[in-house]
């Protein structure tokens, strides 16, 4: 079965600091990878996704992620965070075998201090 690990449960940063959130998955085959963001009181929104091709993917709001197959990782990065990035971030994976359901990590709560 697939599983997703997000090692940082709560991250506190000051504005303009750089961000990197870790995500590791366990599945040996082809995977599709996602990062979703959930702002306080809101629903999940897609930040970025990786299906194939260039392992460095760029998403909305200046976020990017790098797929490293050898490390089973898909870490999320942003060079300079803003107060408005305060939210919970979820990494998700589904196996590229046709199964459509997503397996989510436990989430990382990011708090950006002005």
Partner 1 sequence: DAGVIQSPRHEVTEMGQEVTLRCKPISGHDYLFWYRQTMMRGLELLIYFNNNVPIDDSGMPEDRFSAKMPNASFSTLKIQPSEPRDSAVYFCASSGGGPHEQFFGPGTRLTVL
The backbone region for 85, taken as left when phi is positive above 0, alpha when psi lies in -120 to 50, beta otherwise, is: alpha
First to last CA, the chain: 41
d(CA 76, CA 53): 17
User: Any contact of residue 90 with partner 1 (CB under 8 A)?
Assistant: yes
Query: In this structure, what are the phi and psi dihedrals at residue 61, rounded to the nearest 5 degrees?
Result: 60, 30
Give Cβ neighbours of residue 53 (< 8 Å, ≥ 6 apart): none
By CB under 8 A, name the one of 14, 51, 58, 61 that touches partner 1.
51
Specify the residue, 97 or 114, whose C-beta has the smaller distance to partner 1: 97
Region binding partner 1 by CB under 8 A among candidate stretches 10-18, 41-49, 66-74, 75-83 = 41-49
By CB under 8 A, name the one of 3, 45, 82, 84 that touches partner 1.
45
Specify the residue, 65 or 81, whose C-beta has the smaller distance to partner 1: 65
Torsion from C-alpha of 13, 38, 63, 76, nearest 10 degrees: 70
By CB under 8 A, name the one of 24, 75, 94, 108 that touches partner 1.
94
User: Any contact of residue 72 with partner 1 (CB under 8 A)?
Assistant: no
**Interaction site with partner 1 (CB under 8 A):** 32, 34, 36, 42-46, 49, 51, 90, 94, 99-107
């Amino acid at each position: 079965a697939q599983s997703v690990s997000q090692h940082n449960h709560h991250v506190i940063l000051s504005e303009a600091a750089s961000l990197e959130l870790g995500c590791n998955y366990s599945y040996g085959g082809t995977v599709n990878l996602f990062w979703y963001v959930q702002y306080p009181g809101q629903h999940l929104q897609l930040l970025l996704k990786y299906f194939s091709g260039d392992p460095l993917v760029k998403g909305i709001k200046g976020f990017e992620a790098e797929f490293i197959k050898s490390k089973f990782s898909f870490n999320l990065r942003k060079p300079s965070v803003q107060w408005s990035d305060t939210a919970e971030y979820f990494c998700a994976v589904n196996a590229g075998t046709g199964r459509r359901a997503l397996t989510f990590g436990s989430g990382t709560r990011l708090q950006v201090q002005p």
